[in-house]
Amino acid sequence: MDLYDYQIKQIFEQNGIPVLKGAVAYTPAEAQEMAEKIGGAKWFIKAQMCGVYESLRDKTDACRWVEIAADPSDVFHIADRMLKDVFETDIGLQKVKKVYVEEACRIMQKIRVSIQVDFEKQQVMFVLEDQKEKLFRFPVPEKGITNGFLYRCLSKLDISYRDLKKICEIIRKLYQLFLKYEAVAVEIRPMVLTEDHRIVALEGRILFDSDALFKHPEIMQMKEEETGREREMTAKQNNFKYITLNGNIACLVNGSGLGLATIDLIHACQGEVACLLDVGTEPSKETVAKAFRLVLSEPDVEGVLVNIFGGTTRCDIIAKGLIGAAQEIAVGMPIVVRMDGTNAQIGERFLIESGLPFVITHTMKEAIEEIVQKVQALS
């Protein structure tokens, strides 16, 4: 089960692990208000999504996921931009629905620490990564994580004795949290020493054991219900990646990268995306038909863009699925199709011969301009 960054911070704080002062905001105005309440001269603004642990941290997207604001009005504009953004995360495409406004700090030193189960060795491990990204792994002794154990583990780091004592105390509390929730892993990535001599968890992660969560209803309650859950559950059952947005153009694509590019180009043409569904790389015609019916079920949809790049995906299969679904549903809205790659010409021929009102285009730019113009003409 994935939680948001701010929820992890709440758990840390409740268990004695120090974090920076912060608050969640759902609108740009609320973000600015939170920054003014927090105080200070600068703030971190973080887009709140689940499953960002690996997919964003080491990519160029990271600069969009977290930004620094030097003025409350900057907080407003950054939050406004983030709340319109979509990211590809470890668990699929996600629209940002909230941001976390947090006091900024000047980082003087940082390390990463985690306590995790090594299933292969059936052993709990303490893992340490220093500032030079050198990794150290230590088996946790039977008596647990003690000061003596930690002093030995941390001895190679250039840390003052005063700071070492504080770090050891935080790690012991992290270990207690690990035991409390019977977790698979708990991490602070990174733990930082600030210019004003504080040591805080800048970010964190808790990987819960799903078989143990029934013992911790307070954690289950933190998993927030999101809007459009019924469609998202249907998408999940069919192995689709699916997100609901705020516009009126439904997009059916094959691939997360293509999906993000499609959203960006539609916005550039002054259009708005209602939902995005990624059918994957090798869908059957039945799968495509289900996908098409699903995006048409969105209440605000006024047009559909099908944007397919055929590699392992066969465009003729995509076409058969679209035709099958369109024959069952009276589709009274524009449907623009762009297919390129494997069997694209065959797929286009199937669509034309079906006699159904598909608009065939041959470039991504042409397809997006066509759907945006047709939807705007209906307004």
**How many structural domains are present in the chain?**
3
**217 confidence band (pLDDT: 50, 70, 90):** confident
**23 confidence band (pLDDT: 50, 70, 90):** very high
Asked whether residue 122 falls in the same domain as residue 235, the answer is no
Q: Which residue, 78, 103, 128, sits at the end of a domain?
A: 103
Determine the pLDDT at residue 55: 44
Residue 5 falls within a domain, yes or no? no
Degrees to nearest 5, angle at CA 56 with 132 and 192: 40
Domain holding 120: CATH number? 3.30.470.20
Q: Which domain holds residue 128?
A: 107-220
Give me the mean pLDDT over the 334-358 stretch: 94
Residue 84 falls within a domain, yes or no? yes
Specify the DSSP class assigned to residue 295.
Answer: H
Residue 169 falls within a domain, yes or no? yes
Determine the pLDDT at residue 8: 94
Asked whether residue 39 falls in the same domain as residue 159, the answer is no
190 upstream amide cis, omega within 30 of 0? yes
For the whole prediction, is pTM greater than 0.85?
no
Least Cα distance to 92 among 230, 224, 206, 232 occurs for 232
**Cβ atoms of residues 242 and 294 within 8 Å:** yes
Asked whether the predicted pLDDT for residue 351 surpasses 60, the reply is: yes
- Encoding tokens for residue 208? 């819960």
Between CA 97 and CA 224 the distance in angstroms is 12
Asked whether residue 258 falls in the same domain as residue 368, the answer is yes
Residue 4 falls within a domain, yes or no? no
Give me the mean pLDDT over the 253-257 stretch: 90
Domain holding 248: CATH number? 3.40.50.261
Asked whether the predicted pLDDT for residue 363 surpasses 90, the reply is: yes
Asked whether the predicted pLDDT for residue 195 surpasses 60, the reply is: yes
Asked whether residue 260 falls in the same domain as residue 292, the answer is yes
Give me the mean pLDDT over the 248-270 stretch: 93
Asked whether residue 242 falls in the same domain as residue 360, the answer is yes
Residue 173 falls within a domain, yes or no? yes
Asked whether residue 202 falls in the same domain as residue 297, the answer is no
H/E stretch holding 313 reads: none
Asked whether the predicted pLDDT for residue 22 surpasses 80, the reply is: yes
Determine the pLDDT at residue 280: 87
Contacts of 110 (CB under 8 A, 6+ apart): 131, 190, 191, 192, 193, 202
Between CA 252 and CA 277 the distance in angstroms is 5
Asked whether the predicted pLDDT for residue 202 surpasses 60, the reply is: yes
Q: Where is mean pLDDT largest: 48-57, 233-242, 267-276?
A: 267-276
128 DSSP β-pair partners: 113, 136
- Strand-strand pairing, 99-103 and 107-118: unpaired
Residue 95 vs residues 75, 112, 140, 232, 356: alpha-carbon distances, Å? 19, 28, 39, 13, 33
H/E stretch holding 317 reads: helix 315-328
Determine the pLDDT at residue 299: 84
- Encoding tokens for residue 131? 């500032």
Determine the pLDDT at residue 224: 53
Asked whether residue 214 falls in the same domain as residue 245, the answer is no
Q: Which residue, 83, 103, 123, sits at the end of a domain?
A: 103
User: What's the chain's length in residues?
Assistant: 379
pLDDT tens column, 64-116: 789 999 999 999 999 999 998 887 766 667 788 899 999 999 999 999 999 99
Asked whether residue 238 falls in the same domain as residue 147, the answer is no
Least Cα distance to 48 among 7, 107, 1 occurs for 7
**378 confidence band (pLDDT: 50, 70, 90):** confident
Least confident stretch, 39-53, 160-174, 363-377: 39-53
Specify the DSSP class assigned to residue 251.
Answer: E
**Cβ atoms of residues 21 and 41 within 8 Å:** no
**Cβ atoms of residues 325 and 266 within 8 Å:** no
CB count in 10 Å sphere of residue 201 = 22
Asked whether residue 246 falls in the same domain as residue 209, the answer is no
Between CA 345 and CA 124 the distance in angstroms is 56
**159 confidence band (pLDDT: 50, 70, 90):** confident
**Cβ atoms of residues 166 and 192 within 8 Å:** no
Q: What is the amino acid identity at position 107?
A: I
Asked whether residue 205 falls in the same domain as residue 297, the answer is no
Asked whether the predicted pLDDT for residue 141 surpasses 80, the reply is: yes
CB count in 10 Å sphere of residue 258 = 17
Asked whether residue 134 falls in the same domain as residue 198, the answer is yes
Domain holding 92: CATH number? 3.30.1490.20
pLDDT tens column, 111-130: 999 999 999 889 999 999 98
243 DSSP β-pair partners: 276
Mean pLDDT, rounded, of the chain: 88
Residue 13 falls within a domain, yes or no? no
Residue 9 falls within a domain, yes or no? no
Between CA 174 and CA 178 the distance in angstroms is 6
Q: Is 209 exposed, middle or buried (0-12, 13-18, 19+ CB in 10 A)?
A: middle
* Phi and psi at residue 212, to the nearest 5°: -105, -5
Q: Which residue, 220, 237, 256, sits at the end of a domain?
A: 220
**320 confidence band (pLDDT: 50, 70, 90):** very high
Higher pLDDT, 305 or 280: 305
| pLDDT cut 70: percent of the chain above it | 92
Between CA 196 and CA 210 the distance in angstroms is 39
Dihedral angle of Cα 151, 156, 157, 159, to the nearest 10 degrees: 60
Residue 349 falls within a domain, yes or no? yes
Asked whether residue 196 falls in the same domain as residue 253, the answer is no
pLDDT tens column, 261-302: 999 999 999 999 999 999 988 888 888 998 998 888 888 899
251 DSSP β-pair partners: 276, 305
Contacts of 158 (CB under 8 A, 6+ apart): none
